[in-house]
Every structure is written in structure tokens, then in C-alpha cells.
A = this chain, B = another copy of it.
Amino acid sequence: MKPALDFFFDFSSPYSYIASEWIEAVAARHGRAVHWHAILLGVTFQAAELKSPVAHPIKREYSIRDFARSARFAGLPYVMPAKFPIPTQNAARIFWWLHDTHSTVRAVAWAHAGLRAYFTHGADLSDGATLATVATESGLDAAAAQAAYTDPLWKERLKRENDAAIAAGVFGAPFFIVDGEPFWGNDRRGQIEQWLSGHADFQRTVM
């Protein structure tokens, strides 16, 4: 088995949602596992002195159009959530709680459930009741999930993951690290596939 690749996502990132739907199949085709990392995009933006694309007035209208168009291009259902962006720390803490105490499979299933609920139904994951409903529908014990995301242990766990992501050079989401090579954005799918195919010309060290 070749080394796993790292996939960093935020529950409030449309491009993360799109990437979450293809990353496993692409990786599997090339004999790779995927290590999923729920992070907070806002924290990485802050570290890199960047802003959300929708924070810029002129770019906002384009971005909203591009989110939906990029989903159509990937053949995925998509709705622009009425509330966007949203704070996603509770959804992310549930991810790490499942990851560490249940299994990575359960954590990834939760990532899919949360991303799909938000980007195909507009379910506001920052609202406690909505989050409980999404958790229940995805087979979790909602009370246990809530206990986890209010527990300092999982708050700290997410904080460590954000710090580790920033230390690894992550400044946005989705972000991928493959064999030490960083790729930023859903639109780097083609380059990631080329890299995984092992084309020596493409992989050579830059400069």
C-alpha cells in the first residue's frame, strides 16, 4: 500500500463538499487511503491573513455562481444554503470524537452526512437542534454527540488539528497533501489524479 493522502475540509466550504464526493474514489483508483481532517477554514484564513472569497463584495457574486456551477460540473446536487458561511466547530468536534472513540469510517460517514445536509438541504449545522437532527438521521446518538462537542477534550482536539494543519502549510479548504506535495482547491482534482498516476515529468521537484 502506498502512503495515504491527507484531505482537509471544513463543513461550511462548498468546494470541500464537492471534493469530499470524489476524493475516496480517486485515491482508491491509485491504491491510496485518505486521511480526513475536519478543520476550521476561518482559523487557517486568519493565520494566512486571508479572507473568505465571499467577504469581498465583487468576488461574492461570482463565488456563489461558481459554487453551484462547480457542483453541476461534478454532477452533484447542490443548494446555496440560506445561511452561509456558518460556524462549524461543533460539527468538526463530532468528527474528531467519532474518529478517536469510534472509527475513522464512522467519522467519514459523519463528514458526508454533515456536508450533504448543509449543501443539499441547507441544514444549518451551527444550530443545536438542526445538528441533533442531522446526527440522529446519520445514526448517531444526538445526546452523546452534543456531550462531545461541549466537552473541553474535543474542543482541544480540534484546536490541535487546526494548529497542525497550519503548521503543515494548509491555508484553505479543501486542501490535499500527497507525498508531501500540497494541492489547494477542488479544482486541483486533475493535477492530483496526474500526481497519483505517478507521471515522473509531472512530479519532478519545482525549481
Contacts and interface: CB of A to CB of B under 8 A. Distances in A.
A206 B204 CA distance: 40
A171 interface: yes
Contacts of A66: 184
Contact of A194 (B49, B73, B171, B182): B73
A188 interface: yes
A65 B194 contact: no
A62 B171 contact: yes
A171 B58 contact: yes
A73 B191 contact: yes
Interface in A149-207: 169, 171, 182, 184-185, 187-188, 190-191, 194, 201-202, 204, 206-207
Work out how many copies of this chain go into the complex: 2
Given A50-B56, A202-B72, A62 B169 contact: yes
Contacts of A202: 69, 72-73
A92 interface: no
Nearest to A63: B184
A61 B194 CA distance: 21
A148 interface: no
